[in-house]
């Protein structure tokens, strides 16, 4: 065997080695087993040539050995061309050695010692040393179902750290460790090491590792590569925080098997652990990094529950560099597990409430274009709690919060600045703190919804580019003439001045509709000037009629078309994003009881706050819902601006030059005739005639009136122009023009010009009486009613005697107190009659004065006010104050499954009418016309019967609703139809018959 020359002592301890030269081919050859490591094969090849392994390396053409050649240098990093030469020299198939070296799986962490674990049964079967045993994550032999050994059972050293030299072959499966200070190697038989059975959990995790290694070696799988890169970091973190639990698990896996303790200190380096402890670590790591995300999250949550410091990202004990180097799997599961322990800002930034939780590394600058400055109204209603937030600031801040998910920037003001510079970091922090104070799971669900909307905008996008609209929509999107025409055509008053009042509010409404602008930002050209200005805008927005709202939306649509913006007018994220979030702090405004809102706000003219309190919602919820309310169209007087504008448009279409040439010039018809036929006044017709270039005939001679007589009648006798015109047989306008020609200033129009308003009483009349009569209408009437009312125990009995509405009597007495400037009587309390105050006694005394009585009787001549009541009437009224015990609870019906209610006179009237029309559907106005019940009494009564299940209701269908619309007008408010249920019919029959029997109107049957 030329070239194989060695020298050394017989005991196997190398002293000198002569240089050997590489050969082209070896005469003696050895095959390599499946999975065998290259150093094990070289050792068997050297044993065949009866030499130690290290002298064989230069013969094979491998790098020359040093005094200590570590096995790792032989397994990793050798030039593949050298292995091709070795395969050729040893007769192996080309690339046969690729699976015997570690280059193919270099990313898999090896043992820090550089040695190898081993299975004694495999060594006894002469299968050689497996290359997989050198991997730190190989802990069990799946063939023999045993835990691998980490060291020699005799000396405890890790086997196969170095390539052995010398002239003596190495016996198979023996320990080659040379103890310090000794000249002999250990030589222990490793096949005799005790066998420790591997449990199912260990075999399962070993199978997981082997599959990942096969995937990595076969296809170079990215998932497997990332997992092996993260495994040391995750294992180190587990060792740092669960050392005791893991050691207990390792002891249970292999009792009595020597284990190598870890030297890791949370740096993320490869741990030096024995097979049992490594197996325990891998079992936990497989759960955390495996395919079952929910189970991994639960495991991590259990780990975090044992830590003192949990509110931290990166995880406690892990450096930021290691955290940022991890693949997304572990950070996602850690964030989901730590979700409830993180601050609201961290939860939102990292989306820890969602399954897509991740480190904030994305670019969210494009999301700004898809978000309005004021949050979408429907979603604002879902997120706004009943109390605790200002609605405008809330909507502005919640929109800015959509820029936080996935945003690595920590400066909140800088995050919000691209969308709305008004939203400061303090505002966002206060909003998130307010959400954190919400009860139950509301806080988590709000954060989850914001993250879902942000993800939706990133993945799907928005059909509206709000940033483009903010840049292109003009500050004045609606000119004065456009607004005047638009408002009047919709039957609304446009206001009095351009760029102020209703015109300004209409421009603001359009700007918010189009761009979602935050008008509380002082930098906006249409910004609110003060809180009162903002409140007036809110009142304008909620009072829009459906016709005016449709007109404004149509104008906004045309404005977008003029700007070349092909987008829908409005949009909001789909409602499906919150379909499983049932504990959001707000409400879906589409579910509000609009009948109640309409009754309180429209019918009863009560403030929005009252409706919010009645329904238990935020006032902003009512404002949002009012956009769906069909408010009744206001009926304007003939001279009001909307009607005047409409008539002006009609006149402009009718009174053309052709019309005047035909009717006025050719047919010779006078303006008076044209006015009577068309319904327009002569002044308007004359104006359009002049605009058309028509020369009109001169006016008739003015009506003759004696100037002196006119002055006497108007100035001295204070007669009205209407009375004077009637006496002269002319029109009131003719008298007015005559007064103007005489230079007589006209008295104010309307009630201010009545003689009663200008009457002055004689000086001998007491001051309080003069204060009540002078400068007002019907002062004597109020004084007489006060005089009569003070004879009765309360205002109810007084109103009954006066045949007046009680509310009207209350307002008249309040007006009297206002005119005199002091309370006149103490109101009645339970079983305690009303009584005059000191000032009231004085007034009653003054009214008994003969001269006052004479003036009062003269003023009230022909009045319907009854005389002072007699003693019999007052005695009967006093009896009504007897104390009555409050009624007890209603006894339910025996066999009628509806709630029993108290039946008063109004209820009885309604029930009788319903029984007279069985099976008929009806609506409120219809019942009011038939029964005469007051609106404030009827509608609460209908709702009470509906709640008690006596009635059912439905909204009017679309066809009927649209058919009722007058020509040129919107359909108005939908009707609510009610129907008496069968059980309600039985209950109504019972109550009506019972009331009739109790009053003796029917004879009871035997």
Give me the DSSP letters along 734-777. Answer: HHHHHHHHTTPPPPPSGGGGSHHHH----TTS-HHHHHHHTTSS
- Do 758-879 and 905-998 have matching folds? yes
Three-state secondary structure call for residue 393: helix
Half-sphere exposure of 269 (CA within 13 A, CB side): 8
What pLDDT band is residue 379 in, cutting at 50, 70 and 90? very high
- Peptide bond before residue 757 is cis, with ω within 30 degrees of 0: no
List alpha helices for 604-681, DSSP H.
Answer: 608-615, 619-625, 641-654, 657-660, 671-678
What does the alpha-carbon distance between residue 371 and residue 368 come to, in Å, rounded to a whole number? 5
Nearest by Cα to 648 from 688, 698, 596: 688
Q: Mean per-residue pLDDT for 791-819?
A: 88
CATH class of the domain comprising 758-879: mainly alpha
What does the alpha-carbon distance between residue 30 and residue 47 come to, in Å, rounded to a whole number? 10
pLDDT tens profile 548-582 = 999 999 999 999 999 999 999 999 999 999 988 88
What pLDDT band is residue 394 in, cutting at 50, 70 and 90? very high
* Residue linked to tokens 């740096």: 267
Does pLDDT of 203 surpass 50? yes
The conformation of residue 974, written as its DSSP 8-state character, comes to P
| b (16+ CB within 10 A) / e for 147-174 | bbbbbbbeeebbbbbbbbbbbbbbebbb
The conformation of residue 885, written as its DSSP 8-state character, comes to P
What pLDDT band is residue 377 in, cutting at 50, 70 and 90? very high
CA end-to-end span of the chain = 138
Nearest by Cα to 49 from 131, 170, 175: 170
Q: Mean per-residue pLDDT for 319-335?
A: 87
Q: How many other CB atoms sit within 10 Å of the CB of residue 39?
A: 24
Does pLDDT of 319 surpass 90? no
Measured CA to CA in angstroms, residue 743 lies from 622, 711, 720, 753 at distances of: 55, 10, 17, 18
Nearest by Cα to 465 from 369, 557, 558: 369
Mode of pairing for the β-strands spanning 976-980 and 951-955: antiparallel
Query: Does an H or E element contain 899, and which?
Result: none
* Residue linked to tokens 């280059």: 103
pLDDT of residue 104: 57
What does the alpha-carbon distance between residue 752 and residue 820 come to, in Å, rounded to a whole number? 20
What does the alpha-carbon distance between residue 81 and residue 758 come to, in Å, rounded to a whole number? 123
Query: Could you please report the per-residue DSSP string of 676-734?
Result: HHH---HHHHHHHHHHTTPPPPPPPPPPP--HHHHHIIIIIS---HHHHHHHHTS-HHH
Contact predicate 508/524, CB 8 Å:
no
Q: How many other CB atoms sit within 10 Å of the CB of residue 629?
A: 18
Q: Mean per-residue pLDDT for 615-625?
A: 90
pLDDT of residue 887: 59
Q: Which fold would CATH assign to domain 905-998?
A: Arc Repressor Mutant, subunit A (1.10.10)
pTM: predicted TM-score of the whole model, two decimal places: 0.62
What pLDDT band is residue 18 in, cutting at 50, 70 and 90? very low
pLDDT of residue 259: 54
Q: How many other CB atoms sit within 10 Å of the CB of residue 27?
A: 9
List alpha helices for 417-524, DSSP H.
Answer: 425-436, 442-459, 466-472, 480-489, 501-515
| b (16+ CB within 10 A) / e for 959-985 | eebeeeeeeeebbbbbbbbbebbebbb
Radius of gyration of the chain (CA): 49
% of the chain exceeding 70 in pLDDT: 89
pLDDT tens profile 508-553 = 999 999 999 999 888 888 888 888 888 888 888 888 888 899 999 9
Q: Mean per-residue pLDDT for 638-656?
A: 86
What pLDDT band is residue 398 in, cutting at 50, 70 and 90? very high
**Per this entry, what is the length of the chain?**
1006
Sorted by sequence, the CB contacts under 8 Å of residue 794 that are 6+ apart come out as 828, 833, 834, 880, 881
φ, ψ (nearest 5 deg) of residue 826: -90, 130
Q: Mean per-residue pLDDT for 354-364?
A: 85
Q: Mean per-residue pLDDT for 821-836?
A: 85
φ, ψ (nearest 5 deg) of residue 578: -120, 20
Query: Does an H or E element contain 63, and which?
Result: none
What does the alpha-carbon distance between residue 281 and residue 238 come to, in Å, rounded to a whole number? 7
pLDDT of residue 109: 58
Domain locations in the chain?
Answer: 38-192, 217-342, 641-691, 707-746, 758-879, 905-998
Three-state secondary structure call for residue 404: coil
Contact predicate 17/56, CB 8 Å:
no
The partner residues of 979 in beta bridges, in order of sequence, read: 952
The conformation of residue 566, written as its DSSP 8-state character, comes to -
Could you tell me how far CA 367 lies from the centroid of its own chain? 17
Half-sphere exposure of 195 (CA within 13 A, CB side): 14
Q: How many other CB atoms sit within 10 Å of the CB of residue 872?
A: 8
The number of helices, as runs of H, and strands, as runs of E, in the chain is 46, 8
Contact predicate 179/155, CB 8 Å:
yes
Three-state secondary structure call for residue 118: strand
Mode of pairing for the β-strands spanning 825-826 and 976-980: unpaired
φ, ψ (nearest 5 deg) of residue 836: -70, 150
Query: Does an H or E element contain 958, and which?
Result: helix 958-963
Nearest by Cα to 221 from 233, 232, 213: 213
Contact predicate 726/720, CB 8 Å:
no
* Residue linked to tokens 């909620």: 542
Sign of CA dihedral 567, 571, 576, 577: positive
Of 427-441, 594-608, 992-1006, the poorest mean pLDDT is in 992-1006
pLDDT of residue 457: 93
């Amino acid at each position: 065997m030329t070239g194989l020359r060695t020298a050394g002592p017989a005991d196997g301890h190398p002293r000198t080695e002569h240089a050997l030269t590489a050969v082209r081919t070896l005469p003696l050859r050895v095959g390599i087993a499946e999975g065998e490591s290259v150093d094990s094969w070289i050792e068997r090849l050297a044993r065949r040539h009866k030499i130690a392994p290290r002298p064989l390396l230069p013969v094979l053409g491998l790098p020359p050995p040093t005094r200590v050649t570590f096995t790792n240098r032989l397994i990793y990093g050798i030039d593949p061309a050298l292995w091709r030469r070795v395969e050729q020299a040893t007769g192996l198939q080309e690339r046969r050695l690729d699976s015997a070296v570690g280059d193919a799986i270099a990313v898999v962490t090896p043992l820090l010692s550089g040695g190898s674990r081993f299975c004694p049964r495999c060594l006894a079967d002469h299968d050689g040393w497996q290359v997989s045993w050198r991997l730190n994550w190989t802990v069990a032999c799946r063939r023999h179902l045993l835990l691998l050994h980490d060291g020699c059972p005799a000396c405890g050293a890790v086997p196969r750290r170095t390539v052995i030299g010398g002239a003596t072959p190495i016996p198979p499966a023996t320990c080659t460790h040379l103890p310090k200070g000794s000249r002999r190697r250990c030589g222990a038989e490793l096949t005799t090491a005790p066998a420790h059975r591997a449990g199912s959990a260990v075999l399962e995790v070993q199978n997981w590792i082997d599959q990942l290694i096969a995937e990595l070696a076969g296809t170079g799988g990215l998932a497997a590569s990332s997992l092996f890169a993260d495994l040391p970091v995750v294992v180190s973190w587990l060792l740092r925080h669960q050392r005791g639990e893991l050691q207990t698990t390792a002891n249970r896996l292999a009792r009595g098997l020597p284990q190598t303790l870890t030297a890791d200190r949370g740096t993320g380096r490869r741990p030096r652990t024995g097979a049992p402890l490594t197996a325990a670590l891998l079992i936990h790591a497989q759960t955390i990094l495996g395919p079952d995300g929910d189970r991994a999250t639960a495991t991590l949550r259990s780990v975090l529950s044992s830590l003192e410091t949990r509110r931290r990202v990166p995880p406690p004990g892990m450096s930021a560099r290691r955290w940022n180097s991890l693949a997304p799997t572990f950070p996602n599961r850690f964030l989901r597990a730590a979700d409830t322990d993180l601050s609201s800002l961290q939860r939102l930034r990292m989306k820890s409430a969602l399954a897509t939780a991740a480190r904030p590394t994305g670019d969210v600058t494009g999301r700004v274009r898809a978000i309005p400055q004021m949050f979408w109204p429907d979603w604002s209603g879902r997120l706004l709690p009943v109390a605790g937030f200002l609605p405008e600031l809330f909507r502005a801040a919640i929109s800015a919060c959509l820029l936080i998910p996935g945003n690595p920037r920590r400066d909140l003001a800088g995050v919000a600045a691209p969308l709305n510079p008004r939203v400061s970091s303090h505002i966002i922090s206060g909003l998130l703190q307010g959400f954190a104070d919400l009860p139950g799971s509301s806080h988590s669900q709000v954060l989850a919804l914001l993250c879902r909307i942000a993800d939706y905008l990133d993945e799907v996008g928005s059909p509206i580019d709000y940033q483009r609209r903010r840049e292109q929509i003009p500050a004045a999107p609606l000119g004065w003439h456009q607004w005047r025409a638009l408002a009047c055509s919709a039957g609304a008053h446009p206001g009095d001045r351009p760029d102020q009042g209703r015109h300004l509010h209409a421009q603001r409404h359009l700007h918010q509709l189009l761009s979602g602008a935050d008008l509380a930002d002082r930098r906006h050209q249409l910004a609110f000037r003060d809180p009162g200005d903002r409140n007036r805008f809110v009142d304008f927005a909620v009072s829009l009629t459906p016709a005016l709202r449709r007109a404004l939306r149509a104008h906004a649509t045309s404005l977008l078309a003029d700007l070349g913006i092909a987008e829908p007018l409005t949009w909001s994220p789909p409602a499906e994003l919150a379909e499983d979030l049932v504990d959001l702090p707000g409400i879906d405004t589409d579910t509000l009881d609009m009948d109640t809102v309409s009754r309180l706000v429209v019918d009863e003219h009560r403030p929005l706050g009252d409706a919010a309190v009645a329904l238990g919602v935020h006032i902003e919820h009512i404002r949002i819902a009012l956009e769906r309310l069909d408010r009744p169209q206001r009926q304007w007087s003939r001279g009001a601006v909307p009607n005047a504008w409409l008539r002006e448009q009609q006149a402009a279409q009718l009174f053309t030059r052709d019309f005047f040439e035909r009717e006025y010039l050719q047919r010779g018809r006078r303006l008076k005739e044209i006015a009577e036929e068309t319904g327009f006044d002569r002044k308007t017709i004359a104006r359009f005639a002049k605009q058309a270039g028509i020369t009109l005939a001169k006016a008739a001679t003015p009506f003759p009136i004696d100037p002196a007589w006119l002055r006497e009648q108007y100035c001295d006798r204070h007669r009205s122009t209407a009375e004077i015109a009637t006496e002269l047989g002319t029109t009131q306008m003719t008298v007015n023009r005559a007064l103007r020609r005489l230079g007589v200033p006209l008295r104010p129009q309307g009630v201010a010009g009545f003689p009663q308003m200008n009457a002055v009483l004689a000086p001998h009349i007491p001051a309080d009486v003069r204060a009540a009569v002078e400068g007002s209408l019907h002062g004597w009437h109020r004084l007489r009613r006060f005089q009569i009312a003070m004879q009765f125990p309360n205002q109810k009995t007084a109103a009954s005697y006066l045949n007046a509405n009680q509310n009207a009597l209350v307002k008249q007495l309040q007006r009297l107190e206002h005119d005199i400037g002091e309370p006149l009587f103490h109101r009645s309390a339970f079983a305690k009659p009303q009584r005059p105050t000191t000032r009231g006694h004085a007034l009653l005394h003054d009214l008994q004065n003969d001269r006052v009585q004479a003036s009062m009787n003269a003023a009230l001549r022909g009045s319907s006010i009854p005389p002072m009541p007699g003693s019999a009437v007052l005695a009967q009224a006093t009896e009504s104050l007897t104390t009555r015990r409050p009624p007890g609870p209603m006894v339910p019906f025996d066999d009628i499954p509806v709630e029993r209610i108290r039946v008063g006179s109004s209820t009885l009237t309604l029930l009788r009418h319903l029984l007279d029309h069985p099976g008929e559907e009806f609506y409120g106005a219809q019942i009011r016309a038939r029964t005469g019940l007051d609106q404030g009494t009827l509608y609460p009564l209908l709702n009470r019967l509906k709640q008690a299940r006596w009635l059912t209701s439905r909204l009017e269908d679309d066809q009927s609703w649209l058919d009722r619309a007058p020509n040129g007008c919107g359909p108005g408010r939908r009707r609510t139809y009610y129907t008496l249920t069968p059980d309600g019919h039985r209950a109504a029959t019972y109550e009506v018959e019972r009331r009739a029997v109790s009053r003796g109107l029917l004879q009871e049957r035997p």
